[in-house]
Structure 1
Amino acid sequence: MRVIRYTDEMISEFKDKGYWTDETFYDFWAKNAREIPDREALVDSRHRVTWAQAKELVDQIAYHWVDMGLEKYERIIIQAPNEVNAFLARIAAERAGLVSLVVYAYMRQKELSYMIEKTGASAVVIPYTYRNFNYLEMYNELRKLSPRLEYIFLLDEDVPAGAPEGTYSLPQLMKDPVPNEKLTVLDDRRFDPFRDMAMLTSTTGTTGLPKLVEWNIAPRLCTAKGRVDIWNLNVEDTTAAIAPFAGGAAGTLTYFAAPLVGAKTVLLEEFTAESALELIQREKATCIGVVPTHLVRMLEQPVENYDISSLRFIRSAGGYLPPDVGQMAESTLGGVITSDLGTQDVGSVSGCRVDDPPELRRRTVGRPLAGNEVKLIDEDGNVVPPGEPGQLWFRGPNSPAGYFRDPETTATVFDSEGWATTGDIVKWDQGCLWIMGRAKDMIIRGGQNIYPAEIEGLLQEHPKVKIVAIVGYPDKELGERACAFVVTKPGTNFTFEEMISFLKEKQLASFKLPERLEVVESIPTVGDSGKIDKKVLKAELEKKM
């Protein structure tokens, strides 16, 4: 099943320049099994698996899926919390030539019914229950929407009585050994890294339903190698998925990057600040994947009670990390903050090196990844002068193939030469990209542009401010004005006058000053991603006004 966007000319370009190689992610699991067989590969609260064991289990899962009749290119959905068997199922899907879609555990019927219908998925990997929710029951209902959904693989040792037909225990399949001579059938299912669709990712759509993004292996592998380089990741590292491995914050670090160098991965099944710190201490984690919310909650704990001296760097993604929170995280937790820029829709753009100066690591998204071309465009489509903000457009070997079986929508995001935009307003400074805000979040007040991220970054430095989000609201006279939603630190009060006085001290232009303050107990986020949901804030503000 060929990906829809990459032409032979584009493939040749990225191959000839050395950015794309004829490798798959499974190749690195096999390599580690040969070269470091007895080193640990994956750990959760119940399992500890070496590289040799991991490869054997992956081969067994993949073989049994093929033997049961799953054809190459059929789609398989993996919906699970962080756990070893779900992690193995993901790489087993690649080994079996199945197109995997890994989704967050919090998704429910509305999103999943769309995904199942859109992909025509034949199989799912799920827990029987998680967080007191019955996934088996939900998928049994979802099967009524798609007769192609034939197989349900549970992450449990036993299949419960009364389970629907076609329900199997994945751990039981993993216990059924397969002779090496039978594994040759899997070699025939190997994906073409350049042309075959090998995985799907989901991203939030404007209608509330997810959009599905096609990936061939080559660009994801290219990005993973780029991250390995800027993080100085190596075989002695222990990576930790504090955020869900289904998402980019932890998935890029643990699923895509760690196996390339044989680094161990430990998985935190259920986040609490205490359990995250205990995991780092127990497993001597050197690098963690988090969203900003995780960091904030960890910093509220008595960190001095834990030995987390092993921590080398913190990969924070999935939302804006205020510089003062980054500074506090570095001084309190010990690991350096590294930031980057990318989206599921258009791919990975840039990243900071772990040895960059603190100012750049905390306040910028670093330099373009190898192979990426970047240009900044104004509202008229012209390249902006040096130092001026503009909407970021980029092109390179780190991008997906487009939207699943949807060339029309893909063409609205990628032009014929492969250029796409993240929607961010950025500027160049000190060789790095500085984010000023999202183009869609930009507030136009009396014809002057206000970039929310600029104001949010300043207000986060106020000693009373814990979380802040700037949104626009309509105004008859000026078009739009800015409102600040603020969660204060415990035991503090924050007034409009204090906010304005503080921002003036920071020499913020007067037209950028928020003209309304809403002090709230919490700020809504999108699922478990940690990203602030500004749509909800704008809706709340409209009701109040």
Structure 2
Amino acid sequence: MLSADLRALLTGPGGPFERALEPVLGAPAEVFVQRAPHLPAVLDGAAGRTPDAPYLVAGERTLTYAGAARLARAYAAVLAGEYGVGKGDRVAVAAPNSPEYLLAFWATTALGAILTGLNGWWTPAELDHGIELTGPVVVFGAGRPLQRLHECGAAATIRIADLADLADLAGAAERLDSPADWPAAVIEEDDPAAIMFTSGTTGRPKGAVLSHRNMVHFGLFGGLGGAVAALAGGADGRQVPPGVQRATLLSNPLFHVSGACVALSTAPLFGTKLVLPPPGRWSEETALRLTHEHRLTQWSGVPTHFWRMLTHPDFDSYETGQVATIGSGGSTFAPELLRLIEEKMPGVQVTNGYGMTETTGAGTFLNAQKMDTHPASVGAAAPTMKVQVRDAAGTALPEGEVGEVHLAGAGVFLGYWRDPAATRDVLDDGRWYRTGDYGRIVDGVLYLESRMRDMIIRGGENIYPIEIEYRLVEHPDIDDAAVIGVPDTVLGQEVKAFVVCRRGAELDAGQVRDWVAGALAAFKVPARVEFRDALPYSQTGKVLKRELEGSPA
């Protein structure tokens, strides 16, 4: 993808992405040589390189990198002095994204403590589970999540505090004392930094423990992928001009790996400005307006987000010419979407990838060049990562055969908090992580088939929903689609499709079935079709199929 000179410039000795093989928790892993030793050093580095550059913009408030470092030190002093937080303690937060949440995150990690991100949409019972599992010394909340925290059974035994109170104390400390340095704490690379709860597809959510190494690696891993994509794009590809600050929305929640690691690693490592959208559900109109107002250079999301922005009736009234990259993860880009992106935003660099909380988002990477030849894939092994497809016995399979996807590398998590059995189930002695996803490798790139739990078995035939979903969204009148299996007396399961039509379009079930039948085998054609105004999505952009499974068959 790159010339030898460019490759040497990026990854050669002394280069910003120089790599080496080192032991990580007893297993060899490829690591970045030029890396910060822990998260507080990442923020200090950004404050030293670009002190006055905007870091976080929330409405009328702008926090610079130097300002964030000063305030984070004050937050750390207050956490230690007023709340008794020390190394190894857990500090839980249930709140919407805000500058206060981010500063509390920085301060917690600087003390060698562990930030526990509680899902702000959880019910009191779910919050109780997260609190009981992780045992924090204090739980901070804001907005509606704070109200739900006070309804928890844990409120009787755990200190519940308003995030605003922490902010007030830290602000006073910063004004009066202006701490010159972080509180003393010895932090090792493989010390825990955060607990992120998994989506809990089976049983109750588990707490995935991410280390300082994991989160620092995320930023460098993403930075190298972005640099390769930009350089491989050539002269015709859009580029961020020298001297122009990169800028993007911070839409993903800080209790999720894609939100936390962007805010604490990617952005400070590369001096990016993060813009917080207003509270509430994601809106294509808001995303376009903020792109225009803040001259955003990058869009991140899932394909549905890009469909909705590109087909918005007022798209042309917003300035998007400065957007250089569009990035996604996990979901494939339909050819029709790629054509629409090229038509509306010629030269923009499109990237995709595949990873999960347990690998700190790292796994595979797909740039625009590979997308032209392998559009339905999620790419090849990302820099520093290893990918295998294995059978049920754990044996690596040859190209073309479907099996369970396994990932290894410096991004692989430490394990599940206080759950050694679950950790053993997914991590082997070589620190290979079992993803629970089906896939196949062809020409060195990974094609996802389905999550194991999503696979439909119809009359003995294995059906992977993603293949049908991919076909459905290629229809010019379909905006979004999801496919699940529903019980059938004779066949065991049948295929059911949930379809969202584009604005002004009308389809019936027969037309949907005919469209699928035009490209896929008859047994994959949905027997049942349900039309929806919208599909249920999580805050991180994943279709909530469990909610669809509760719909009438």
What TM-score, normalized to structure 2? Answer: 0.84
Give 3-state SS (helix, strand or coil) of 1:540's partner: coil
Alignment partners' CA distance in 1, 2:524 and 2:115: 45
Q: Which residues of 2 match residues 66-465 of structure 1 at below 5 A?
A: 66-68=80-82, 69-127=84-142, 129=143, 133=144, 135-142=145-152, 144-145=153-154, 149-150=158-159, 152-155=161-164, 168-177=165-174, 186=183, 188-194=184-190, 196-206=191-201, 209-232=204-227, 236-270=245-279, 271-301=282-312, 302-317=314-329, 322-329=334-341, 331-332=343-344, 335-359=348-372, 362-379=375-392, 381-465=394-478
Give the conservation status (yes or no) of the 8 Å contact 2:39–2:215. no
Mapped to 2, the partners of 1:224 and 1:360 lie a distance apart of 27
- The answer to whether the Cα contact below 8 Å between 2:304 and 2:480 also exists between their aligned partners in 1 is no
Structure 1 residues 468 and 428, CA, compared in 2 at 3 Å: closer, same or farther?
Answer: same
Q: Deviations over 1:75-112 (max 9, x none)?
A: 11222323222222211211122210223432231221
Render the CA deviation track for 1:98-148: whole Å, top value 9, x for unaligned.
210223432231221111111111223332x3xxx3x44433333x52555
Contact 1:450 1:512 in 2 (8 A): yes
Return the alpha-carbon distance in structure 2 between the equivalents of residues 427 and 126 of structure 1. Answer: 43
Which is further off, 173-182 or 467-476?
Answer: 173-182
Q: Which stretch shows the higher mean deviation, 428-437 or 52-61?
A: 428-437
Whole-Å separation in 2 of the counterparts to 1:291 and 1:244: 15
Q: Which residue in the other structure is 1:160 paired with?
A: none
Structure-2 change in CA distance of 1:16 and 1:206 (3 Å): closer
**Structure 1 residue 58, shift from structure 2 partner:** 0.8
Report the CA distance between 1:183 and its aligned residue.
5.3
Question: What do the CA deviations read for 1:451-477 (whole angstroms, capped 9, x no partner)?
Answer: 111111111111222221121123343
Q: Displacement, 1:285? A: 1.2
1:270-329 residue CA offsets vs partner (Å, 9 max, x unmatched): 343222212111111111332444334433421111112211112234756545345434
Cα distance per residue 1:193-231 (max 9 Å; x no partner): 12x222110112246632211111112222321111111
Residue 172 of structure 1 deviates from its aligned partner by 4.2
What secondary structure, in the 3-state scheme, does the structure 2 residue paired with 1:383 have? Answer: coil
Alpha-carbon deviation of 1:42? 1.7
Cα deviation 1:213-272 (Å, max 9, x = unaligned) = 111111222232111111129983123213334334444434331111222222213343
Cα distance, 1:59 vs structure 2: 0.8
- CA pair 36-221 structure 1, distance change in 2 beyond 3 A: same
8 A contact 2:477–2:502 mirrored in 1 = yes
Letter of the structure 2 residue corresponding to residue 72 of structure 1: K
Kindly tell me: are residues 70 and 242 of structure 1, through their superposed partners in 2, closer, same or farther at Cα, counting changes over 3 Å? closer
Q: In 2, distance between residues paired with 1:357 and 1:16?
A: 23
Q: 1:379 to 1:331 in 2, by over 3 A?
A: farther
Corresponding position: 1:31 with 2:45? yes
- 1:65 paired residue among 74, 79, 84: 79
Bigger drift between 233-242 and 100-109 goes to 233-242
CA distance in 2, matches of 1:64, 1:96: 11
Asked if the contact 1:240/1:267 (under 8 Å) is kept, the reply is: yes
Which amino acid counterpart does residue 106 of structure 1 have in structure 2? W
The answer for the alignment partner of 2:15 in structure 1 is none
Question: Which letter maps to 2:547?
Answer: V
Give the structure 1 partner of residue 16 of structure 2.
none
The range that moved more, 464-473 or 287-296, is 287-296
Q: 1:512 to 1:383 in 2, by over 3 A?
A: farther
Cα 1:139–1:477 change in 2 (3 A) is: closer
Cα drift, residue 36 of structure 1: 1.9
Q: Secondary structure at the match of 1:204?
A: coil
CA contact (8 A) 2:94 2:141 kept: yes
CA contact (8 A) 2:137 2:159 kept: yes
Task: Please state how far the C-alpha of 1:18 moved relative to its aligned partner.
Answer: 5.1
Q: Secondary structure at the match of 2:439?
A: strand
CA distance in 1, matches of 2:336, 2:256: 25
Residues 75 and 166, structure 2, Cα contact 8 Å, conserved in 1: no
Q: CA deviation at 1:342?
A: 1.2
- CA gap of 1:350–1:184, structure 2 versus 1, over 3 A, is closer
Q: Indicate how the Cα distance of structure 1 residues 184 and 33 shifts in structure 2: closer, same or farther if over 3 A, else same.
A: closer
Which residue is 1:502 aligned to? 515
Q: Report the Cα distance in structure 2 between the residues aligned to 1:430 and 1:16, rounded to whole angstroms.
A: 23
For the structure 1 residues 214 and 520, does the alpha-carbon distance in structure 2 shift closer, same or farther, using more than 3 Å as the test? same
Relative distance call for 1:61 and 1:318 in structure 2 (3 A) is farther
SS of structure 2 residue aligned to 1:440:
helix
Say if 1:319 and 1:532, in contact at 8 Å, map to a contact too.
Answer: no
List alignment gaps of at least 5 residues for structure 1: 1-7, 156-167
Contact 1:338 1:362 in 2 (8 A): no
How far, CA to CA, are the matches of 1:379 and 1:72 in structure 2? 40
Structure 1 residues 101 and 41 mapped into 2: Cα distance closer, same or farther (>3 Å)? same
Percent identity, please: 26
User: TM-score scaled to structure 1, two decimals?
Assistant: 0.85
Partners of 2:289 and 2:318 within 8 A in 1: yes
Q: Give, in angstroms, the shift of residue 192 of structure 1.
A: 1.1
For residues 16-51 of structure 1, the C-alpha deviation after alignment (integer angstroms, 9 at most, x for no partner) is 865795611221211122222122222111311222
Change (3 A) 1:177 1:524: closer
1:510-529 matches, cutoff 5 A: 510-525=522-537, 527-529=538-540
Query: Unpaired runs of 5+ in structure 2?
Result: 1-21, 231-239
**Residue type at the aligned position of 1:139:** L
Cα RMSD after superposing both structures: 2.9
Q: 1:326 to 1:394 in 2, by over 3 A?
A: same
Correspondence for 1:4 = none
